[in-house]
Chain A
Amino acid sequence: MKFVDEFRDPEVITKTSEEIRRLADPNRHYRIMEVCGGHTHAIYRFGLKDLLPSNIELIHGPGCPVCVLPMGRIDDGLSIAQQPDVIFAAFGDMMRVPGTQGSPLEHKARGMDVRIVYSPSDALKLAQMSPEKHVMFFAIGFETTAPSTALTLVRAKAQSIHNFSVFCNHVTIIPAIRAILDSPDMRIDAFIGPGHVSTVIGCRPYEWIAKNENKPVAVSGFEPLDILQSIVMVLRQLKADEAKIENQYKRVVPWEGNHAALRAMADVFELRPYFEWRGLGFISQSALRIRESYAEWDAEQRFHVPGVRVTDPKAAQCGEVLKGVLKPHQCKLFGKECTPEHPIGALMVSSEGSCAAYFNYEHRKTAMVTSIASVA
């Protein structure tokens, strides 16, 4: 009963699950992509797949910032930090992500000055506290974290802090969705839209998915009931042959997004012509770089960056898993050479990575099914 006790309104969960079964046409196979890694984590943690009929397939999307970063970018960032008196600062999520010569943590063990920060503003503070050093913040994330990096750069410039720079790996979610829809081996019927990215960008940027691609989108919260309700929303649309954007997460996501955050991003960043995503390849205008007016704080302009392209270890099939073509356990290395303790691919590192989520929660499924059945 443990899992059910943790649910809000287990009876509502059961009813929503029944509603999903009623809405799903048994003669049709549904492929619904949850874009955000937080949703992937929740889906595995709560065993939501077991509450769905077998003809509803959840496809895990590209919304895990650590997972989509190609190894070459990690190598580039670490090569900057190999220069004298440079401190490599990054969120904890980055620390175990493998580069060609090891993760940032392994580089630290070999003598590199590597620090975990929980906020980009703390990386800036670290620079103020270490005037004899240069602090390079390895910035990752979608639109949830990009505005904070932007504002930190505004503050660095305003306060004339010159021993600080950002190695910018911020990516944007919409071009990734577009690339998935353009991919010939992908067929998606509907999307569960990201929750916290949407607090920044709002719901409007998804409208083309409904208008041009005729696919329903439900922007969703992270609880089991949120995700199940979002599945109900898109199934209702599919049944009625409609396509529109619905906001299941109204309690947090304003339709128009956060204008101040969008302004901060626009002031500091511009779109790169293209950027490489692990698994998805090069995607046009899918990532942010620092504008010329902030060049002094741009690690890529300030330091020599090798810009090497590194292919993933051959046996690892991170790309196929990221695109949703393979399920995590279908990768040849899953659970054998590649585990959360010894990750070979980034998807096994982050709790939002589908491989780590699958690995950590799959074995609990049986308990989950039993619990739900006893409530129903």
Chain B
Amino acid sequence: MCLAIPGQIVELFPDQPNAALIDVVGVRRKVDLGLLQDDMPVRGDWVLIHVGFAMSKISEKDAIDQMRTLRMLGEAEAAMQEVEGYGLDHAENTKAS
């Protein structure tokens, strides 16, 4: 929850100005861009994501470093589970097990 997840913006939606499709190591989910409204990212930019919201823009190098940090901390799996859970796409993710 407190560690940021790096992702790349792969698609923006003209009809949803606050949403972006991001790619996190091959997993694609929609995130909210509302907290970056002062400096909106464009397609191809890298961002750090907290709980479904892009929180800061970073360089590609820093994004790779951050994913590495998550792996080192043993948090990569939890991070991917979080990303996969965004959008309630998987019914099982909405059920506490």
Residues of A at the B interface (CB closer than 8 Å) are: 6-8, 36-38, 41-42, 45-46, 63, 65, 91-93, 95, 104-105, 108, 114-122, 125-126, 129, 141-142, 144-145, 147-148, 151, 154-155, 196-197, 199-200, 221-224, 251-252, 254, 258-261, 264, 351-352
Contact = CB atoms under 8 A, between A and B. Distances in A.
Nearest to B56: A199
Contacts of A126: 88, 94
Contact of B52 (A122, A197, A258, A259): A122
B58 interface: yes
B72 interface: yes
Contact of B62 (A114, A252, A258, A351): A252
Interface residues of B, number: 41
A8 B61 CA distance: 14
Given A116-B94, A125-B87, A264-B34, A91 B2 contact: no
Nearest to A87: B94
A117 B88 contact: yes
Interface string B63-80: 001101101111100100
B12 interface: no
A118 B86 contact: yes
Given A118-B82, A121-B52, A144-B50, A37 B69 contact: no
B56 A252 contact: yes
B42 interface: no
B3 interface: yes
Nearest to A7: B72
A141 B52 contact: no
Contacts of B21: none
A45 B71 CA distance: 12
A151 B53 contact: yes
B34 A65 contact: no
Contacts of B87: 122, 125
24 contacts: A36-B2, A45-B72, A46-B72, A115-B94, A116-B85, A118-B52, A118-B81, A118-B85, A118-B86, A119-B32, A125-B87, A141-B2, A144-B2, A148-B32, A151-B35, A196-B3, A199-B4, A199-B48, A199-B56, A224-B72, A251-B62, A252-B58, A258-B35, A260-B37
